[in-house]
A and B are shown apart, each in its own frame.
Chain A
Amino acid sequence: MTDTALRPRSTGRLMIIGFLSPTVILLLFMVAYPIFSLIYYSFHNFSALRPNEPMTWAGLDNYTYLLSDNDIWARFVFTGKFVFLCVSMQMIVGIFVGYQLQKTFRGRDVLFTALMLPMMLSPVVAGFLWRYMLNSEWGVVNYLLTVVGMDKVDWLGQSTAALWAAAVVDTWMWTPFIVLLATAAFRGIPETIYEAAEVDGASPAYLFFRITLPMSAPVLFIALILRLIDSFKQYDLFFALTGGGPGSSTETVSFAVAKTAFSYFYTGEASALAMILLCIIMGLAMILVRHLSKMGEHD
């Protein structure tokens, strides 16, 4: 009796272990090992390019050096500004365009596909493309400004203009992602709710702000989380568009990590900076995910 009662349970447990173990092993290898290596290296002075110099214990030295470096704080401030600017623009434009695209009109599918094109480009390609378009002397953007009687702008040569230029390029590239998710969310709202509201005399603005936005909020919130995380670790766009300049005014934290790791080959210091960045992104993601869970509970 006991045997027959236990057998299915133990077989089930074995099956669970059997199914989970490949993934767990893979995750340990792919995620845990690099993270533990990162933590280990961050407490050492070590350069991958100088194998003849032994790795030495640094304690918190890498962390204190970085956190007392004004330049690193400047990278965080710039990254924050960039994330705020581009994610705000992407959400506003993406929701607006997505709202228009949920309506049925002729050529909508063609337009929708065309709008997705920037997202399919590699950020490096987009960066180089816009770099030429924003060239102050022969770029098409300044040409169009002069056509309408405006002065040329040194887009990539001045700190503030370069920040705006990068935010606009990132918005151009990633707004389609918001459009995609927003359109899907908007189209998932049952038509009957709109019909009932219209019968009650609801205005288009009321429909948008009181029905469309609240009912699609969880999906839009996921889009916001993904864009925040992605923008926070932006590197390749700046590599191609501004090279981090002028000065280091458009260097993001990720740019600084890549430079420290693969140009300076200060492996220990780069690991510490990557750890700081990882903690910030994880903290940010946890706050947002918790908020998302609360939204789900309210629903």
Chain B
Amino acid sequence: MKRRSALLATAAVAGAFGLAGPLNADTTLTFVWHAGTCADALMSIAKGYPDKSVSIVPALVPYGPEWHNKIASEFAIQGDAFDFAMWDSQSTAEFAGGGHVVKMNDIFDQSSYLKADLFPAASLSQYGEYPDGSGQFYGLPANQDAYGLMYRKDLFEDPKEMEAFKAKYGRDLAVPETYQDAKEVAEFFTRPEQGLYGWGQMGGREYDFATTASNSFLWSFGGELYNPATMEVQGYLNSPASIDGVQAYVDMFKYGPQGSGNWGFDEVNAAFQQGQLAMAMQWFYFNGSNADPKVNKFAATTGFGILPGAVGRDGKFRRQFSVGGQGMGINKYSKKLPELVKFMEWYFQPEQQTRYAAVCQTGLKSVLESPEWQGLNAYNAQFSKALQYLNDYWHLPEYPVMLDQLQEEVSNAVSGTKTVEQALTDAAIKQERTLERAGYKITRTAELPEVPDVLISPVGQDSVVAANK
């Protein structure tokens, strides 16, 4: 009897430590993502996976550093606590560079369905290519996103407002196409005594809140984060055009509620849904909830558009904003690669992706290009158009450090602790120190451009090209 008890106890302990053999043949595929609508959509779709011996298990974390750190920590111990994960585009360099991710090219070679041409080339590159231009992919564009603009149509289409705006500014009230226009419209609607403000945007210190927003201004004014050819940051991040852009971003906080310099996306959503904002800069990801009358009491009169561009100091018009969303990558240490590839072959079929695209932004080309999807709601067609204006951070393994340094300094500029020029110069010095420590050689060029975009990836146009009409 005693011996039997001892055996049972041993078995229980072994089971608790995972030493016991599998009690059933089911396979669980665990994924890490940030909690939200899109993770819920994936789970809902996965329930319909025909192979019932495979179940998809979420390991969700809040959006922000915990999400990145959960994936990175597992990679650091070379563990298989998750099989696949959705991570930010810029993390691909860090994770693939560390050798933790399965190369998608190998999957493309072996799979009869999963091929690179299922996805728009730019999207596949943005969410999965490392190093840039190498043709090596480590992620699939599972959830695309872009910065967008939402605005109160009831205000923009109110005849009295239109008349008052024209009287004050001598032009028609319209959804702005440039940040110069946006500043005037925001100023016009800023009426603190009525609890109404012209503009809402993120400025918080956490994760990438301030930098994704400020980069959108920086690039639109012709600025650049660095020169990938020479690895120079000084002279690019703090170039006159970059300073113009970040200054325009900082100035827009004048037209938001007090303390909005601290906002993340939740606060932007909350303020807009309460009717405090005439316009807000927000990810397309949230358009689903902001179009829902149960969430946003102004849903019926909320318009969704594309972020403005800017006329830079060289007279060129540019419209560039931060890419959002995530690529789907596979943990190299997962022992369930065959089952996972089978699931992915099913998940990236148009049928599943059409369901996904009803609430989030798919990366599957056939769905993105279909008229049904583009006409499904008020913003899908805009999203499709927005993809051409996307830009991203450094695709370097040092990205978490460089992001934090830029976040810190942009936050200093937002809070007024430093001038924009001082903040960007300090960020540039810190980032070069980081790059040099990581072994990069920085080559100094004699003549630094005033508008670095003309040197790096020219997108300037001679006149304003409307995107919101």
Contact = CB atoms under 8 A, between A and B. Distances in A.
A245 B371 CA distance: 45
Contact of B408 (A48, A247, A262, A264): A247
Interface string B341-380: 0000000000000000000000000000000000000000
B401 A159 contact: no
Interface residues of A, number: 33
Nearest to A264: B401
A88 interface: no
Given A50-B98, A156-B262, A263 B65 contact: yes
Contact of A265 (B72, B204, B261, B267): B72
A49 B72 contact: yes
B312 to A, nearest CB: 27
A50 B262 contact: no
Interface stretch (B152-160, B178-186, B409-417): B409-417
A242 B400 CA distance: 19
B367 to A, nearest CB: 34
A245 B204 contact: yes
A136 B261 CA distance: 10
A50 B271 CA distance: 42
B71 to A, nearest CB: 10
Contacts of A135: 259, 267
B388 interface: no
Contact of B260 (A137, A246, A263): A137
Contacts of A244: 205, 408
A48 B404 CA distance: 19
B52 to A, nearest CB: 36
Contacts of A296: none
Given A49-B72, A152-B258, A264-B404, A243 B415 contact: no
B131 interface: no
Interface in A244-292: 244-249, 259, 262-266
A157 B258 CA distance: 9
Contacts of A157: 259, 261-262, 414-415
Interface stretch (B38-46, B73-81, B122-130, B289-297): B73-81
A251 to B, nearest CB: 9
A149 interface: no
A247 B412 contact: yes
A216 B356 CA distance: 66
B68 A263 contact: yes
B259 A249 contact: no
A247 B411 contact: yes
Nearest to B402: A264
A158 interface: yes
A263 B404 contact: yes
Given A52-B98, A246-B417, A247-B205, A265 B76 contact: yes
A54 interface: no
A137 B257 contact: yes
Interface in A28-70: 47-52, 65
B450 interface: no
B392 interface: no
A198 interface: no
Interface in A153-168: 154-159
Contacts of A245: 204-206, 262, 408, 411, 415
Contacts of A71: 430
B94 interface: yes
Interface size class of B (residues with CB under 8 A): 35 or more
B120 interface: no
B412 A49 contact: no
Contacts of B416: 158
Interface in B63-117: 65, 68-69, 72-73, 75-78, 94, 97-100
Contacts of A137: 257-260, 267, 271, 276
Interface in B424-455: 430, 437
B397 interface: yes
A136 B259 contact: yes
Given A48-B76, A158-B415, A245-B411, A265 B400 contact: yes
Contact of B415 (A152, A247, A263): A247
B415 A246 contact: yes
Nearest to A249: B417
A263 B69 contact: yes
Interface in B235-288: 257-262, 267, 270-271, 276
Contacts of A154: 258-259, 261-262
B415 A49 contact: no
Given A245-B262, A249-B417, A262 B73 contact: yes
Contacts of B414: 157, 246
B258 A246 contact: no
A45 B401 CA distance: 16
A81 B65 CA distance: 26
Given A243-B204, A244-B205, A246-B412, A49 B75 contact: yes
Which 10 pairs across A and B sit closest by C-beta, in order of nearness?
Answer: A245-B205, A136-B259, A246-B415, A247-B412, A243-B206, A48-B76, A243-B205, A157-B262, A154-B259, A137-B257
18 contacts: A47-B98, A49-B72, A49-B75, A50-B397, A135-B267, A137-B267, A152-B258, A157-B261, A158-B416, A159-B417, A242-B205, A246-B414, A246-B417, A247-B409, A262-B69, A262-B72, A263-B65, A263-B69
Interface of B: 65, 68-69, 72-73, 75-78, 94, 97-100, 204-206, 257-262, 267, 270-271, 276, 397, 400-401, 404, 408-409, 411-412, 414-418, 430, 437
Given A157-B261, A244-B205, A266-B401, 11 more contacts: A50-B97, A71-B430, A154-B259, A154-B261, A159-B415, A159-B417, A243-B205, A245-B408, A249-B415, A263-B400, A264-B401
